[in-house]
Amino acid sequence: MEKNWFIRGYNNGDEQKINELFNSLFDRNRTIEDWYWKFKGNPEGVKLLVAVDNDLIIGHLGSLHRRIKIGQGKTLASLEVDGMTQPDYGRRGIFVTMGKRLLSDLEKEDIGIVFGFPNDKALPGHRKLNCVELFSLHVMVRPVNFRNISKKLFSNRFFRLIGEKMGKFTFRVVYRVRKARLGEDVILKTISKFDERFDGFWEEACSSHPIILHRDSRYLNWRYAESPEKRYQIFVAESSEKVLAMVVVRVLERYGLKNGAIVDILAIQNNEHVAHALLLKAMRHLEEKEVDLIACSIPQWSIYMEILRKCGFVTCPKKLSPKEEPFIIYPISDGIDMDLIKNPRNWFITWGDTDVV
């Protein structure tokens, strides 16, 4: 079939057609205001490509720029997002062509590394582009409403009842929540904005992680305080007005259940006990919102995995878990330490580093 389509950069006015394509392909109802926040408001900038046939936008691939700490150095990274192709134009190499163009353009813009969390449909295209597959985030859950969860797990009413009773007993006795010890000078509270103290908090907290995406006040406000559609609750621990830890949560409907998502968690080194106490406060908030379960997704080797276990979290059953989406990277700068970035255990990643939760 003759090729009539071509790839070009985003032009003002494309957003309406891009958003319509997104909503139709992903069965979403994203508003144009949310699109503007995501792509026009991103503090570090974006790169957007579209595939066009005459006046019809048939494909799109974007990237959101983020600053990143790698070892002792800092550079720009970019998160690939919203990759999509109109089904009528499938199997024509449009996604791969957009991917090649995007990587080439980002290299010219001095982006050091590109990363993403592709779904099953997008992963084959990324493999053709020679991505590096590092790991998948590990989903941990704490059941809250055992009746609703049993309905999801079992079709038989008898097994539902047994599952509900056994679940309550198991999590009360075996996976019970452990209390956190906290000094009297530590205050736990909620906030609506991140002030300049979080810049200093970020500089201290990042030292514990060889590779971590920036979480200064500018980024945190854009990501969690200014989103027009997603509503986040922000919890902080402080002592003498110094920030020691933060936890960000969100309530959302997924997979037929009301989920409480632990979107982000970070603490200054040697303050894991503070993060433990803050997580418990966030969990109580989610329980008050009557969620069915509380979930958190981090690498299995994360220092926060032990805190989750102390809070009664377990590995999510496959029947409740979303499909694993691998974390992939494209190192496109010669100055990147390849040994460092290819070691999965060097990475600190949370749901907050994706664009999904």
| Average pLDDT value for residue range 203-213 | 96
Q: Check pLDDT > 80 for residue 2.
A: no
Give, for 140, the enclosing helix (H) or strand (E).
Answer: strand 138-143
Whole-number pLDDT of residue 97? 97
pLDDT of 1 higher than 60: no
The tens digit of pLDDT for each residue in 160-187 reads: 999 999 999 999 999 999 999 898 899 9
pLDDT of 264-322, one tens digit each?
Answer: 999 999 999 999 999 999 999 999 999 999 999 999 999 999 999 999 999 998 877 76
The domains found in the chain, sorted by start residue, are: 6-136 (3.40.630.30), 138-323 (3.40.630.30)
Q: State the chain's maximal CA–CA distance in angstroms.
A: 72
Q: How confident is the model at residue 214 (pLDDT cuts 50, 70, 90)?
A: very high
pLDDT tens per residue across span 82-129: 999 999 998 899 999 999 999 999 999 999 999 999 998 999 999 999
Q: What is the pLDDT of residues 136-163, one digit of tens each?
A: 999 999 999 999 999 988 989 999 999 9
On whether the CB atoms of residues 137 and 299 are closer than 8 A, the answer is yes
Cβ-count burial of 84 within 10 angstroms (0-12 exposed, 13-18 middle, 19+ buried)?
buried
198 contacts 243 by C-beta, under 8 angstroms: yes
What are phi and psi for residue 255, nearest 5 degrees?
55, 35
User: What pLDDT digit, counting tens, does each position of 244-262 carry?
Assistant: 999 999 999 988 899 999 9
**Sequence-separated (6 or more) residues with CB below 8 Å from residue 148:** 257, 258, 292
- Give backbone dihedrals phi and psi of 110, rounded to 5 degrees, phi first: 65, 30
CA-wise closest residue to 81 among 115, 132, 41 = 115
Average pLDDT score, the chain:
95
User: What percentage of the chain exceeds 90 in pLDDT?
Assistant: 90
CB 43 within 8 A of CB 60: no
pLDDT beyond 70 at 199: yes
Burial bucket for residue 298 (CB in 10 Å: 0-12, 13-18, 19+)? buried
pLDDT at 320: 77
Q: What is the pLDDT of residue 335?
A: 86
Give the per-residue pLDDT at 255: 80
Segments in the chain forming alpha helices (H): 15-26, 32-35, 94-108, 123-128, 146-153, 157-173, 197-205, 217-220, 272-288, 305-310, 338-341
